[in-house]
Amino acid sequence: MGLSYIMFIDVVAIFFTISILYAAIYGSIPNLEGLQNLEVMDFYSNQLSGEIPTSLCQLTTLQYLYLGVNNLNGPILVEFGQFVHLKYLSLQNNMLTGSVVPELGLMVQLEYIYLNGNHLEGPLPVELGQWINLLYLSLYDNLISGPLLPEIGQMVKLNTLYLSDNSMTGPLVPALGHLVLLNHVLIYNNRFTGSLPPELGQLVQLQYLSLFSNLFTGPLIPELGQMVQLEYISLYNNMITGSVIPELGILVKLEYLSLSRNFLTGALIPEIGTLVQLDFLTLAENFLTGSLPSELGQLILLDDLKLFSNHFEYALPPELSHCQNLRAFQVQNNLLTGSLQGVFADRHLAVLENLDLSDNRISGVIPQDIFELPSISAIALSLNCLEGTLPEGMCVAHNVSVLSMDGLGAAGGCKHAFTVPLSGVTLFRTMEGSIPRCLWSLPLLTVLHLTGNGLSGSISDVVAVSPSLKNISLGTVDY
């Protein structure tokens, strides 16, 4: 059972601090205007409800006000401007409505403000530029609209800017470059437009840049190479054009790079190999061409590599086997060719779990090496130009749960696909042999897809079928 706020009504006026957090107190905020010396009021993470009373704003000596994670509603009061000594304001994760009132700009001593997780709307007022002592600004997950104002450049002490999950519009203002102490910029899931301003390059202490799911256009700017402290960049789901710039190779502290779902063209630069701290790299769903650079093999800490849905060509570089921490490698829906022989023979890929090479033009026989990878759990080879038989040794993959191998030789452009004259019918050379009987008893196998391979033989004498199998597709296989 929660405790009522009633216990606070008779507190004496000499108190400097009230701190009751995570205590499940409920009801509305009590009238504490008699506490004229109060400096700290902490009711964080309770069950307080109702609107914030104007009497609270009589506590003008307050320096720290924690009301976050409650059930408060109503507007932010214009009387908050009376908190001229306030350094820390926590109102996050309530149900506050209305706008960010201009009077908040009068709190010129403010260092931390958390208004995230409410229902605040409308544009930000220019008066917020008066927060010259502000270190942390958190307004994410609201309904804020309008532009990012140039006045933000006056917050010269700011180290964290968190405006994500709103409806803000317009360009990134060059004044952002004045905030040289910034180390985190998170403005994803908005409607910002325009090119990235070159002034971003002045943020030489920035570690975290998250701009995904906006409407940014134009190229990647070379000034990104000046931000040498960057550990995280996400520009996923924008409309960035041009090439992957070599200046990215200067960012040797980078651990996470996401440029997926843009309009990038050209080759994947060899300078990518200098980013030896990378853990996550995705350039999927662009229009990149050329070969995968052998320098990818220098990324020995890489855990997740997503390059699917591009126009990459030629064979996979054998140096990929040097990525000894790689768990997921997804290059489906490209134009890759060549053989898989030797690519996965190196046992350095001991932790690889997810391998998707489907919808390419890879040729030759399927090597047993893939199935000997000790951690492999999902293998997708569908729609390639493969031939020969399924390797009998594929059953050593005791951890595999997904085998997606439909149309192994049916990719468009295969050298052994041909059209019957005058009929318009396209035929493909299919695989040979039969399904290895041991596949049916792989203990973790849930998905087995082998449609359209022309495999022969009988399954009537299969003795043991794994109970984990849930999805079997044999399609037009001739039995």
Render 114-127 in DSSP notation, one character per residue: E--SS--EEPPPGG
Give the residue carrying structure tokens 């995280």. Answer: 232
* CA–CA gap between residue 98 and residue 73 (Å, rounded): 10
The three-state secondary structure class of 222 is helix
What the block records as the tokens of 211 is: 């701009």
Contact status, residue 336 vs residue 329, Cβ threshold 8 Å: no
What the block records as the tokens of 459 is: 């399954």
Is the Cα dihedral 93, 96, 97, 101 positive or negative? negative
Task: Indicate the pLDDT class of residue 436, thresholds 50, 70 and 90.
Answer: confident
Pairing type for strands 471-473 and 256-258 reads unpaired
Q: Is the pLDDT reported for residue 341 higher than 60?
A: yes
The pLDDT of residue 438: 84
Segment 206-222 mean pLDDT = 98
Whole-prediction pTM: 0.92
Task: Indicate the pLDDT class of residue 426, thresholds 50, 70 and 90.
Answer: low
CA atoms within 13 A on the CB side of 88: 11
Q: Write out pLDDT tens, residues 154-194.
A: 999 999 999 999 999 999 999 999 999 999 999 999 999 99
What the block records as the tokens of 254 is: 């980078």
Range scoring the smallest mean pLDDT among 2-11, 218-227, 336-345 = 2-11
Task: Indicate the pLDDT class of residue 428, thresholds 50, 70 and 90.
Answer: low
Q: How far is CA 440 from the centre of its chain?
A: 37
Residues in the chain: 479
Closest CA to 319 of 301, 336, 344, 285: 344
* CA–CA gap between residue 131 and residue 85 (Å, rounded): 12
43 versus 430: which is more confidently predicted? 43
Q: Transcribe 42-105 into DSSP letters.
A: E--SSEEEEEPPGGGGG-TT-SEEE--SSEEEEEPPGGGGG-TT--EEE--SSEEES---GGGG
What the block records as the tokens of 329 is: 């490698």
Range scoring the smallest mean pLDDT among 16-30, 63-77, 277-291, 310-324 = 16-30
Q: Write out pLDDT tens, residues 259-268.
A: 999 999 999 9
Pairing type for strands 417-419 and 426-428 reads antiparallel
32 versus 382: which is more confidently predicted? 382
Q: Is the pLDDT reported for residue 457 higher than 80?
A: no
Q: What angle do CA 379, 380, 385 make, to 5 degrees?
A: 125
- For 24, counting Cβ atoms within 10 Å of its Cβ (0-12 exposed, 13-18 middle, 19+ buried), the class is exposed
> Alpha carbon of 190 to those of 145, 220, 268: distances in Å?
9, 19, 28
* CA–CA gap between residue 136 and residue 114 (Å, rounded): 8
DSSP code, position 73: E
The torsion angles phi and psi of 226, rounded to 5 degrees, stand at: -80, -15
